[in-house]
Amino acid sequence: MTAVKMMFLAMKEEMMWKRGGIEAMGTFAMVFIGCGSVALERSSLEISIAFGAIVALVILAIGRWSGAHINPAVSIAFWYRGDLSSNDTIAHVLGQLIGALVAGVLLNGAGPTVKNTSWYNLIGIEILITFLLMASILWIIRQTEQWLPIAVVVGSTVALLAFFFGVYTGASMNPARTFGPNLVSGDVAIIPVYFICTIIGALLAVLVEKAIASTSE
């Protein structure tokens, strides 16, 4: 391997981990603000607005650098779609989980994801709302590459889904959002369920997109 090629690979790996670090900061902000509003016992409307607003702001702040996924389910879905390399996906997901964990520690485990319905309903709701979130992302990035409309659409989708479904499942839609606060609070049993459901929902959105694209060809 030539020295030039080795230097290129080293720079590529460095950029990969920098993007992971950016994802960590964005996910930290989302969990800290969103779950902080839950910890402060704000109304459902205020909590929904907090989550939606911080997601939109983070997209505007870091979107151009890392894509501002701030959500392992979204990163895995983009990997499956072919938009993210395996190494980048690992860096993104690790960064997101670390950022969420730091936020959870600073919140002392406050604002964890709470189940207020049956397991069947929880599974169905989390798959559905993560599907809708990922579908909104896929739709808007097909319409524009401008970060402002992307931030508005995705942030609004998060806020609406959180408002209508938060009372039942916490409207996680995001493994990291559940991972950080729930790990610190000790309510860890539901973490794998939210991981699986949200990833399934995001992957289904990509599958539907591919099916629609193939039928329109």
How far apart are alpha carbons 93 and 204 in whole angstroms? Answer: 19
The pLDDT assigned to 14 comes to 67
The closest of 128, 135, 124, 123 to 208, measured between CA atoms, is 135
Q: What is the mean pLDDT of residues 133-144?
A: 97
Q: What is the mean pLDDT of residues 118-145?
A: 97
User: Distance from first CA to last CA of the chain, Å, rounded?
Assistant: 42
More confident residue, 183 or 214: 183
Q: What pLDDT digit, counting tens, does each position of 28-67 carry? A: 999 999 999 999 999 999 999 999 999 999 999 999 999 9
Which tokens belong to 48? 């929904």
Evaluate whether 178 touches 172 at the Cβ level (below 8 Å): yes
pLDDT over 50 (residue 8): no
The pLDDT assigned to 5 comes to 41
The pLDDT assigned to 13 comes to 62
How far apart are alpha carbons 41 and 70 in whole angstroms? Answer: 24
Q: What pLDDT digit, counting tens, does each position of 69-107 carry? A: 999 999 999 999 999 999 999 999 999 999 999 999 999
Could you give all domains of the chain from N- to C-terminal order, each with its CATH number? 3-216 (1.20.1080.10)
In the chain, the amino acid numbered 69 is: H
The pLDDT assigned to 29 comes to 98
The pLDDT assigned to 152 comes to 98
How far apart are alpha carbons 195 and 161 in whole angstroms? Answer: 18
Q: Give the predicted TM-score (pTM) of the model.
A: 0.93
The pLDDT assigned to 12 comes to 55
Q: What pLDDT digit, counting tens, does each position of 60-79 carry? A: 999 999 999 999 999 999 99
Q: What pLDDT digit, counting tens, does each position of 168-177 carry? A: 999 999 999 9
Q: Which residues, 6+ apart, have CB-to-CB distance to 155 below 8 Å?
A: 52, 53, 55, 56, 57, 59
Share of the chain above pLDDT 70, in %: 93
Q: What is the mean pLDDT of residues 2-10?
A: 41
